[in-house]
A and B are shown apart, each in its own frame.
Chain A
Amino acid sequence: MTTQPAPPTPRRVVVTLGNPNTGKSTLFNALTGLNQRVGNFPGVTVEHLSGTLTLRSGTVNLVDLPGTYSLSAQSPDEMVAVDVLMGGVAEVGQPDVVLLILDGTNLRRNLFLASQVLEIGLPVVIALSMTDLLERQGVSLNLTRLGELLGGPVVPVLAGQAEGLEALKGALEQALTAPQPSSLRLNPALAAAVQTLVAELAGTGVAAAATEVERALIDEQGYAEKRLCDRAGEPWRERLAATRQALAQGRNLATLEARDRYSWINKVLAEVEQRSARRTGWREALDRYLNHPLWGSVAFVLSMAVVFQSVFAWATPLMDLIDGGVGALSGQVRDSLPPGLLTDFVVNGIIAGVGSVVIFLPQILILFAFIILLEDSGYMSRAAFLVDRLMRWCGLSGQSFIPMLSSFACAVPGIMGTRVIANPRDRLATILAAPFMTCSARLPVYALLISAFVPAHSWLGGFINLQGLVLLAFYLLGMLGAIVTAYLVTRLRKSESTSRFLMEMPPYRMPSLRSLGLKLLARARIFLHRAGTLIFSVTLVVWVLSAFPRTSTGDSPNAEAPSMEASYLGRMSQALTPAFAPLGWDWKVTAAVVASLPAREVVIAVLGTLYAVEASDAAGEARLINRLQDARHPDGSKVFSLPMALGLMVFYALCLQCVSTLAVMRRETNSWKWPAIAWVYMTSLGYLGALACFQLGSAL
C-alpha cells in the first residue's frame, strides 16, 4: 500500500519560543539546516527567521521568535510573540504547535515563560537543552513526570551535537497529527474576567484575543493595554482598571502573577527535580577571576590585546600564501594567453582586482573567530559587566558593548545585535555609533597604507613597532568617533524610559568547534560572495572605464590601451579632482575612493587595477605597495606623502562606505531617515578629517 503525502495546503506552522541563552538558535539551525529565510514582521523592528522542517508526514514552516523571558510587552517589538501565538500575524498564520525551548540547567526561571505559554491552550512540545550540564550540577530530572505536569512531551536535546533531534521531530509529528492543547489554568478568577472582557469587546465590534486582553489587564501601562485602548476607546482604560482592582484586592496584579507562577513552578520542580551535592567546577573558579574587579580588568585588556595582535601575527603566513598564489596565477595566465585585450582584462582587471581583496580573508576570519568564541563561551557578558561603568560615561550601557565589539568584525552583525538593548534611544545611539568601529573591511586599507608609508621602526626588541602603534591609533580614532556620536545622540534625544542594565550572565560554556566552523564558513562565504559580486562588478566597471577608448596606432595590429589620463576613467576623475585636491588626492586616488563608496574594501581592488594597468608593460611583478610608493604628481612630487596617506586613512576611518550597513540600518530602524543622516554625517566627517590631516601635516 502506498500513501501519498498529504497536500501541503494549508501549510502547518510550528513556532519556537524560549528564553535568551537557551540554545534556541542552535536548535533552530539544526532543525532547518540551510533552509531558512529572514523576514520582518510588519511595523516592528524585530526580525524573524523561518525555515522548512521536514517531517515524515510532510514539511512544516518553523518560525523562530526572538528570545524572551516573558510575554508581557512594553513595546510593539515585545508584543510580536503574543500576536504570533494568537495567530494575529498574517505572514505566519495560526500556529499549530509551539516548540518551547527550556534550559535544563535553569529550569526555574525558564518555566515562567513556559507557564504563560501553556495557558494559551495551544499544543506544546518542550525541548530541554543543556541536559549534558545537569549531572555536573548535581541535578536529575524526571522528564516523564515533567511532561505530565506541563501537558506536553519533554524531549532532551543537544543541538550542538545533533542529539535528540529525531525524537524531537517524532514528538512534533505526534503533536501535529493528534493535537492535545495544553490546559494549564493558574488563576481561574483572572481567566473568567478575561473571558467576560473578550465577550464585551466582541459585543462592541472589537475582536481581541484572550491573551492580549490578559496582558492588557496584568501589564498596567504596558503596550497591550495601550493598543487595546487605542482600538476599543479610552473608556476601556477605566474598565480595565476596575477589573484589575477587583481581581488584585489591594495588591498589584503583576506581583500576583509572578507569585502564582513561581509557586506553581516550585510545586512542579519539587516533584521532578532531585538535587545532590553540586560539584563546583572550573566555571565558578573562572568567574572568580574573570569578573574580579582587578584581575577581571587585567584579563579583559589582555584578551583584547591578544585578539588584535593575533589578527596580524597569525594572518601573515596565510596572506603571503594567497599573495603568492595570486601572483603565480596571473603569471600563468599571462604566459598562456596571447597578449591583448582579453589577457589584459583577466590579469589586470579580474585577478589583480579581486585578488587584492581576497588576500585579507585570513585576517577577517581570525577576527570573526575570536568574536564568535568570546560570544559562545559566555565571556562577552562578563566584558559587558566590566565596562558598563565606562560605557555610561558616553551615555550608553554595557549592553552596547557586545554590538560595538562585534562591529570590529563587521557593523552588520553589530547593528543586528543591538536588539538586546531595551531602551530605544540607547539602541539608536549604538546603531549610529557602530559603523565607526574599525570593521574588518577597513583593515585591508589600513594594512596596505601603513605598510607602504609608515616606517617599520621598532623598540624593545620588536615587541612594539611604529606600524602597530599607528594601526592602534586608527582603532582608537574609530572608537573616539563612536563615543562622540553616542554621546551626541544620547544628549540630543530625550529618552522615554530610563536606561537599564539588566543582563543574565550565562554560565561559561565550552564553545563547540563544529558551531565555530559553521559560523566561520558562513562568514567566509559572505566575504567571498561580496568579492565575487559587488567588488568584482565595481572592479569590472573601473577596468572598462580605464581601458577605453582604445586608440589605434599605425604599426600595431591591436588597438592600444589609452594612457590612463586619456581613458574614460581618467577624464571623469579629473573632473572630480578639484573637490579632492585640498586633501592631496590625485585623480587616481579620487577614482579609487569614489568607486569604493558602495564597499570600502573595493579601494584596494581599484588601486590594484589602476596601478597594474599602468605597469603592465613593465616588470609586472612589483607589488601594489611599491607602485603606490612610486606614484608621482605631474610635477614629480610624491602622491602618497605621509600626511596624505594618513589623511586617506582618516577618511576611511570616518566615512560610511558600505551599502550593507546602510541596508541593515534601514531594516533595524524601519526608515531611511537614520541611514541617510548617518551617511551624510560620516562622509562629511571623513572629508573634513582628511582635509585637516593633509593640510596640517603638510604645513608642519
Chain B
Amino acid sequence: MNAVPLGSLAAGSRALVAGFVQEDAFAQRLMQLGLIEGASVEILRCAPSGDPIEISVMGYALSLRRAEANLILVSPEPT
C-alpha cells in the first residue's frame, strides 16, 4: 500500500480513502461526512494560493484546508 496524504494531490486527481493519520474526533467527523475507507474522492479545485481545497465525496462537495486534507490518507484509484 502506498498511501499518500490527500493534500498532496493536484486538482483533478481521484483517489480512494485508505485511512487517517490519527483516528481522533476530527477524523470521526470526516468519516461521518462520508470519508470512510474505500470511498472515492476527487480534488475539484483549490482556492487562490492553493488553500483551502474543494473535494467531491459521496456525490457532494466539501471544502477543507490542505493541512486538514493531509490527515486523510489515500491510495490511487484502481484503473
- The yes or no answer to B33 lying at the interface (CB within 8 A) is yes
Check A112 against B61 for contact (C-beta < 8 Å).
no
Between A and B, 11 residue pairs with Cβ closer than 8 Å are A70-B32, A219-B25, A219-B28, A254-B27, A255-B27, A258-B36, A287-B45, A288-B45, A388-B51, A388-B65, A505-B63
Check A108 against B59 for contact (C-beta < 8 Å).
yes
Known: A293-B46, A502-B62. A258 touches B31 (CB 8 A): yes
Among A259, A500, A502, A507, find the residue whose CB has the most chain B CB atoms closer than 10 A: A502
Out of A255, A385, A502, name the residue touching B47 (CB < 8 Å).
A385
Check B45 against A292 for contact (C-beta < 8 Å).
yes
- The yes or no answer to A74 lying at the interface (CB within 8 A) is yes
Q: Which residue of B lies closest to A113 (CB)?
A: B32
Out of A222, A297, A389, name the residue touching B25 (CB < 8 Å).
A222
Q: Which residues of A contact B51 (CB under 8 A)?
A: 388-389
Q: Which residues of B contact A112 (CB under 8 A)?
A: 32, 34
Distance (whole angstroms) from the CB of A407 to the closest CB of chain B: 22
Distance (whole angstroms) from the CB of A114 to the closest CB of chain B: 12
Q: Which residue of B lies closest to A254 (CB)?
A: B28
In the complex, chain A residues 359-416 whose Cβ is within 8 Å of any chain B Cβ: 381, 385-386, 388-389, 398
Known: A258-B36, A291-B45. A501 touches B62 (CB 8 A): no
Out of B28, B49, B59, B63, name the residue touching A385 (CB < 8 Å).
B63
Q: Can you add 16 more A-B contacts, CB < 8 Å, to A112-B32, A255-B27?
A: A72-B28, A106-B59, A106-B60, A108-B34, A108-B59, A109-B60, A254-B28, A254-B31, A255-B31, A258-B36, A259-B37, A296-B48, A381-B63, A388-B51, A502-B64, A504-B60
Q: Which residues of A contact B39 (CB under 8 A)?
A: 262
Distance (whole angstroms) from the CB of A386 to the closest CB of chain B: 6
Query: Residues of B within 8 Å of A, CB-based: how many?
Result: 32
Distance (whole angstroms) from the CB of A298 to the closest CB of chain B: 11
Out of B26, B31, B59, name the residue touching A500 (CB < 8 Å).
B26
Distance (whole angstroms) from the CB of A124 to the closest CB of chain B: 19
In the bound complex, what is the Cα–Cα distance between A505 and B40 (angstroms)?
17
Out of A109, A255, A381, A501, name the residue touching B65 (CB < 8 Å).
A501
- The yes or no answer to A314 lying at the interface (CB within 8 A) is no
Check B68 against A389 for contact (C-beta < 8 Å).
no
Check B48 against A255 for contact (C-beta < 8 Å).
no
Q: Which DSSP category, helix, strand, loop or mixed, fits chain B's interface?
A: mixed
- The yes or no answer to A503 lying at the interface (CB within 8 A) is yes
Q: Which residue of A lies closest to B53 (CB)?
A: A385
Q: Which residues of A contact B65 (CB under 8 A)?
A: 388, 500-501
Distance (whole angstroms) from the CB of A605 to the closest CB of chain B: 44
In the bound complex, what is the Cα–Cα distance between A385 and B63 (angstroms)?
7
- What sequence of 0s and 1s flags, for each residue 8-27 of chain B, a beta carbon within 8 Å of any chain A beta carbon? 00000000000000010111
Check A388 against B31 for contact (C-beta < 8 Å).
no
Q: Which residue of B lies closest to A386 (CB)?
A: B47
Q: Which residues of B contact A254 (CB under 8 A)?
A: 23, 27-28, 31
In the bound complex, what is the Cα–Cα distance between A294 and B34 (angstroms)?
30
Known: A254-B23, A258-B36, A291-B54. A505 touches B48 (CB 8 A): no
Check B29 against A502 for contact (C-beta < 8 Å).
yes
Q: Which residues of B contact A72 (CB under 8 A)?
A: 28-29, 32
Out of A259, A296, A500, A505, name the residue touching B61 (CB < 8 Å).
A505
Distance (whole angstroms) from the CB of B16 to the closest CB of chain A: 14
Check A108 against B49 for contact (C-beta < 8 Å).
no
Out of B25, B34, B52, B60, name the residue touching A388 (CB < 8 Å).
B52
- The yes or no answer to A69 lying at the interface (CB within 8 A) is yes
Q: Which residues of A contact B49 (CB under 8 A)?
A: 293, 389
Q: Which residues of B contact A504 (CB under 8 A)?
A: 33, 60-63
Distance (whole angstroms) from the CB of B71 to the closest CB of chain A: 10
Distance (whole angstroms) from the CB of B52 to the closest CB of chain A: 5
Distance (whole angstroms) from the CB of B33 to the closest CB of chain A: 6
Known: A500-B26, A504-B62. A385 touches B52 (CB 8 A): yes
**Lowest 5 A-B CB distances belong to which pairs?**
A258-B31, A505-B61, A254-B28, A293-B48, A70-B32
Q: Which residues of A contact B47 (CB under 8 A)?
A: 291, 293, 296, 385-386, 388-389
In the bound complex, what is the Cα–Cα distance between A293 and B68 (angstroms)?
20
Q: Which residue of B lies closest to A108 (CB)?
A: B58
Q: Which residue of A lies closest to B20 (CB)?
A: A255
In the bound complex, what is the Cα–Cα distance between A221 and B31 (angstroms)?
17
Distance (whole angstroms) from the CB of A230 to the closest CB of chain B: 18
Check B23 against A252 for contact (C-beta < 8 Å).
yes
Distance (whole angstroms) from the CB of B63 to the closest CB of chain A: 5
Check A502 against B68 for contact (C-beta < 8 Å).
yes
In the bound complex, what is the Cα–Cα distance between A227 and B40 (angstroms)?
36
Out of B29, B33, B52, name the residue touching A109 (CB < 8 Å).
B33
Q: Which residues of B contact A74 (CB under 8 A)?
A: 25
In the bound complex, what is the Cα–Cα distance between A258 and B60 (angstroms)?
17
Known: A222-B25, A388-B47, A388-B65. A501 touches B34 (CB 8 A): no
Check B52 against A258 for contact (C-beta < 8 Å).
no
Among A221, A262, A287, A294, find the residue whose CB has the most chain B CB atoms closer than 10 A: A262
Q: Which residues of A contact B34 (CB under 8 A)?
A: 108-109, 112, 262
Q: Which residues of A contact B23 (CB under 8 A)?
A: 252, 254-255
Distance (whole angstroms) from the CB of A279 to the closest CB of chain B: 15
Check B52 against A501 for contact (C-beta < 8 Å).
yes
Q: Which residues of B contact A294 (CB under 8 A)?
A: 48
Check B48 against A389 for contact (C-beta < 8 Å).
yes
Q: Which residues of B contact A288 (CB under 8 A)?
A: 45
Out of B28, B44, B63, B68, name the residue touching A258 (CB < 8 Å).
B28
In the bound complex, what is the Cα–Cα distance between A29 and B51 (angstroms)?
37
Q: Which residue of A lies closest to B60 (CB)?
A: A106
In the bound complex, what is the Cα–Cα distance between A70 and B46 (angstroms)?
27
Distance (whole angstroms) from the CB of B17 to the closest CB of chain A: 11
Distance (whole angstroms) from the CB of B61 to the closest CB of chain A: 4
Check B52 against A398 for contact (C-beta < 8 Å).
yes
In the bound complex, what is the Cα–Cα distance between A291 and B61 (angstroms)?
12
Q: Which residues of A contact B52 (CB under 8 A)?
A: 385, 388-389, 398, 501
In the bound complex, what is the Cα–Cα distance between A287 and B54 (angstroms)?
11
Check A503 against B28 for contact (C-beta < 8 Å).
no
Q: Which residues of B contact A252 (CB under 8 A)?
A: 23
